[in-house]
Amino acid sequence: MIYEWRHFTPRSTDLTSIALQFYAPGLMVFCLAKVFVPVFYAIQDTKTPVKIALIAVALNFTMNVAFLLTWPLYLKHAGLALATVISEGFNGITLGFLIHRRLGSPGWSRIIASAAKSLAAAIGMGVSAVAVHAMLFRFGRSLGLVTKLNEVQSVLLSILCALVVYIGLALWFRCPELKDVWEALHKRRKRAPGELAVNSEG
């Protein structure tokens, strides 16, 4: 919908989607370091996160070179994405292991249960997005919509539907993150008038 114009052909779209498929699992590991690193800072240990990060960088570089030399031409770019995901996963998992060894469990059972609920809701969201998109695209084509306009309406509406499905499933599974988000938004809304008053006085 966005990129496939002029010299960006359907083949280019296929290659981009391959890279995205390798890169997407990183969503589950890229955030780990941002959660675990402050724990080390809180216990006055700034060296360990740096050491682990340097090892992860070295691992990433090694895999980049190996994948570029050994993978087929049309997958080399995907290998770079996979190397990033693996190295970041190593970084986050290692930090979590060290925290567990030093401070005990941070509540792994609750974390895993919450992650499983979010994953289930995400799977439902993905399935609904694919199904609704196919239906909307066929419907738009039956109406005789221009191809690009049909792509826009089917993609945007399927995303909206998938979002509703995700929120519905998250409520059904009682995902605690929804409550946290709602409370954060509520506090921000209550704080906004006071902040505006201070800014206006300033």
pLDDT of 190 reads 72
Q: pLDDT at position 105, please?
A: 87
**What's the chain's length in residues?**
202
Q: Give the pLDDT score at 23.
A: 93
Number of H helices, E strands in the chain: 7, 0
In angstroms, rounded to a whole number, what is the distance separating the alpha carbons of residues 105 and 113? 14
Burial annotation 113-151 (CB, 10 A radius, 16+ → b, else e): ebeebbeebbebbeebbeebbeebbeebeeeebeeeebb
pLDDT at position 199:
53
pLDDT by position in tens, the chain (length 202): 888 888 899 999 999 999 999 999 898 889 888 889 999 999 999 999 999 999 999 999 999 999 999 999 999 999 999 999 999 999 999 999 999 999 998 888 888 898 899 999 999 999 999 999 999 999 999 999 999 999 999 999 999 999 999 999 999 998 888 778 888 888 877 765 555 455 555 5
3-state secondary structure at position 43: coil
Q: What is the pLDDT of residue 201?
A: 54
How high is the pLDDT of residue 4?
A: 86
Residues 55-70 as b or e (16 or more Cβ within 10 Å = b): ebeebbeebbeebeee
| Residues in Cβ contact with 33 at an 8 Å cutoff, skipping those fewer than 6 apart | 49, 53, 88, 91, 92, 95
- The whole-number pLDDT of residue 122 equals 93
pTM score: 0.77
9 φ, ψ (degrees, to nearest 5) = -90, 170
pLDDT at 90: 96
